[in-house]
Structure 1
Amino acid sequence: MDYCNYKRAEQETILGDNPRITIRNTIIDVLSINETVSVVEQYVKAKEPLHLLGVNADKINELNKNERLKQIVNSCGIINADGASVVMASKFLGKPLPERVAGIDLMQSLVELSEKKGYSIYLLGAKQPVVEKTAEVLKEQYPDLRIAGIHNGYFKQEDWPQISLELKAVSPDFIFVGITSPLKEYLVEYLQDDGNKGIFMGVGGSFDVVSGNIPRAPKWMQRGNLEWLFRVIQEPQRLFKRYFVGNIKFITSIIKEKINGY
């Protein structure tokens, strides 16, 4: 059994026969946001570990250049389409996904579920003032929410064992990780292999948005699949190449996949 199949087998007992598709060597689950929340809760109730991950065009481009990242992504228990371009590509290829599952929206839904059912969460990532503010805002929005702990994202690989010990001490049901990819995926892989249970979910820059450090796109831009453009306008130097050049590369590869019938 290869790495991907072995790792997926560890997290597959709950997911069962959920349909999946493959786009550019990337497995994606055919799940809406509500269906995702329902499946994730089954993992929580069964106390089974899960790496919950979203992919967009940029991540798919990257994992096709990074074999280790590709193995980690494809071994995750649930892989959502966190990008409008991925959903459009699925329809173009004749294997449509139901909707974009935005990471920040899924995180909010899982936090709401946690308050309702008494599950605990842990916030790992971002700068210390940002993660503190995120915890504060979430407690204001969800007064009965159990926050097991927080930790900023500024640490070195040699600190990973200590992070692991801190997580084991509080045993949170959900660990939201706001660290840059692919370091985020490497860290989650390490923490799971070190015996940490719970639901690990990468949330990108969601802590910055929840804390109010960075504004989110207006609703009309979200509905029009233009949230990426709002982000580029906010940080053009950092994101222009990722979105414009990256999306052109992604679209070209999707057209080739369609032509080749791969």
Structure 2
Amino acid sequence: MKKVSIFGVKINNITLDEATEIVEKFLGEDRLRTIYTPNTEIVMAAKDDENLKKIINESDLVIPDGIGLIYGSRIGKKPLKERVTGVDLSIKLLEIANKKGYRLYLLGGKDGVAKRAGENILKEYPNINIVGYHHGYFKGSHIGYKDHEEELNLIDNINGAKPDIIFVGLGFPKQEIWIAENKNRLNGRVIIGNGGTMDILSGDSKRAPEIFQRLGLEWLYRLIKEPSRIKRQIVLPKFIFNVLFSKDVIQ
């Protein structure tokens, strides 16, 4: 798979359809594959954090979940084919799981969110086997408590459930760190760090209207809904500025 390096973060240059084909192959293997979904904010954080950059670059699939990455890659003359969001790829995973009767484990969100997400998933995808769920508020590697009893119990719970797919919605960078620290002791075929997807599946959050999605303006919709996000959204112009005035940042 061809990749585009943006500030040293290596992102697969693929479409949603190509990503879907890849995860279908992953699900046919007898090993755990990792998927990360970096957006512009995540790439800018990894730019100055070598450990985080290493975690992302060691993943089996890294999709460009951020319109800024698309614009930046075009400015750098190494264009990414299209934006591939974590939500969209997660839905594709659910569609595949529904066809094949795969087993799904849901990890993340506040207490009750993963359970509600599972209930809603079954309404739409009744052939999926929801084998477990757990909230995201536990002591573990992602917050400096590696091998804490709560983490070890969670890992035992996941492995005992024998999932094919694991959704991890702990938010960035906790989910990336937790997956990287524990992937070698987890059973499964695909594990994806998909951020707020759990909240959307549970009904606690809503995606932007389709017109915003098509125009790559989901960030604007979220900003309108939550003006306090302005501190986070300021990273987009900062990213474009860095791309324009730095040499060899996109390769």
Regarding TM over 0.5, the answer is yes
CA distance in 1, matches of 2:214, 2:225: 19
Q: Is the 8 A contact 1:49 1:198 kept in 2?
A: yes
The equivalent of 1:167 in structure 2 is: 158
Q: Is the 8 A contact 2:8 2:249 kept in 1?
A: no
Relative to 1, partners in 2 of residues 1:192 and 1:260: Cα closer, same or farther, differing over 3 Å? closer
Letter in 1 for 2:237: I
Aligned CA-pair RMSD:
1.6
Deviations 1:57-114 (A, max 9, x none): 1001111122211110011111100011101111111111111111111101110100
The equivalent of 1:193 in structure 2 is: 184
1:256 to 214, 239, 245: 245
Relative to 1, partners in 2 of residues 1:228 and 1:168: Cα closer, same or farther, differing over 3 Å? same
Matched, 1:72 2:55: yes
2:231 to 235, 241, 259: 241
The equivalent of 2:115 in structure 1 is: 132
Relative to 1, partners in 2 of residues 1:27 and 1:163: Cα closer, same or farther, differing over 3 Å? same
The 3-state SS of whatever aligns with 1:46 is coil
Relative to 1, partners in 2 of residues 1:198 and 1:260: Cα closer, same or farther, differing over 3 Å? closer
The 3-state SS of whatever aligns with 1:207 is helix
Relative to 1, partners in 2 of residues 1:95 and 1:191: Cα closer, same or farther, differing over 3 Å? same
The 3-state SS of whatever aligns with 2:195 is coil
Q: Unpaired segments of 5 or more residues in structure 2?
A: 141-147
CA distance in 2, matches of 1:99, 1:32: 6
Deviations 1:229-259 (A, max 9, x none): 111222222x21111x211221111113457
The 3-state SS of whatever aligns with 1:201 is strand
CA distance in 1, matches of 2:225, 2:187: 36
Higher relative contact order (CA 8 A, sep 6+): 2
Q: CA deviation at 1:216?
A: 1.4
Q: How does 1:26-175 map to 2 (within 5 A)?
A: 26-157=9-140, 158=148, 159-175=150-166
1:212 to 195, 200, 203: 203
Q: Is the 8 A contact 1:33 1:106 kept in 2?
A: yes
Q: Is the 8 A contact 2:11 2:62 kept in 1?
A: yes
CA distance in 1, matches of 2:158, 2:67: 33
Letter in 1 for 2:243: I
Letter in 2 for 1:182: P
> After the TM superposition, which segments of 4 or more aligned residues of structure 1 sit over 3 Å from their partners?
257-262
Moved more, 111-120 or 156-165: 156-165
CA distance in 2, matches of 1:99, 1:259: 21
Q: Is the 8 A contact 2:136 2:170 kept in 1?
A: yes
The equivalent of 2:144 in structure 1 is: none
Identity percentage of aligned residues: 33
